[in-house]
A and B are shown apart, each in its own frame.
Chain A
Amino acid sequence: EVQLVESGGGLIQPGGSLRLSCAASGFTVSSNYMSWVRQAPGKGLEWVSVIYSGGSTYYADSVKGRFTISRDNSKNTLYLQMNSLRAEDTAVYYCARRKSTRDAFDIWGQGTMVTVSS
């Protein structure tokens, strides 16, 4: 079965760090464009970051310099390292698969909640 399972969310103080994981099954992470998309409470979807099949990485301006996307091909897992967290980073974080930047996000994980609060 093709699926994505996120983990690693939780409650963290402002300025803290957290690493999210997204384990894939049924397909190969490194052969796809893998993204993180977040959704603040009661708000819409916001693209956060992408790692291309070739390894290039890109970020939304709101997280550039603070978040790092990576993958472990041996574990078929996607990661999002989040540093210098702010209250406005509070959201459900989804990992999602695309074939290219112009394609649809066809597979989504169930999401993991990140709450940044003192």
Chain B
Amino acid sequence: QSVLTQPPSVSGAPGQRVTISCTGSSSNIGAGYDVHWYQQLPGTAPKLLIYGNSNRPSGVPDRFSGSKSGTSASLAITGLQAEDEADYYCQSYDSSLSEGVFGGGTKLTVL
């Protein structure tokens, strides 16, 4: 059972918009700690996709965006492309554990 809760899977057709939710609690996201998102393509290491709730590292397309409200955060992907098919993980800091915690991951399927 992960500290942060994500839907196991989402799907969308090419060109569509999908969102992935990440629900936490008052000891992590709700406490104001930043949420970060990672993309893991099949057979590869995770890659930082969004940091500090809504910031994109250099090289990440602006089709990817992040937001946070209350005890939840969301990752939105617009103009869905076949190469976006991957696992996506959210991550934040948890004050009760005094360390970073991950969501269980969401598998994105591009139909």
- Contact status B48-A104, CB under 8 Å: yes
CA of A43 to CA of B94, assembled, Å: 21
Size class of B's contact patch? 20 to 34
Q: Which of A47, A104, A109 has the most CB of B within 10 A?
A: A104
Closest A residue to B89 by beta carbon equals A45
Closest to A96 in B: B46
Q: Are A44 and B52 in contact (CB under 8 A)?
A: no
> Are B57 and A106 within 8 A (Cβ)?
yes
Partner of A101, one of B44, B89, B93, B103: B93
Q: Which residue of B lies closest to A106 (CB)?
A: B48
Check A47 against B34 for contact (C-beta < 8 Å).
no
Q: Flag if A44 contacts B104 (CB, 8 Å).
A: yes
Residues of B within 8 A of A101 (CB): 93, 98-100
Q: Which residues of B contact A106 (CB under 8 A)?
A: 48, 51, 57
> Is B64 positioned at the interface, with any CB of A under 8 Å from its CB?
no
Contact of B57 with A45 in the complex, beta carbons under 8 Å: no
B68 contacts the other chain (Cβ, under 8 Å)? no
Interface set, chain B 37-51, CB cutoff 8 A to A: 38, 44-48, 51
Residues of A in contact with B (beta carbons under 8 Å apart): 35, 37, 44-47, 50, 58, 60, 94, 98, 101-106, 108-111
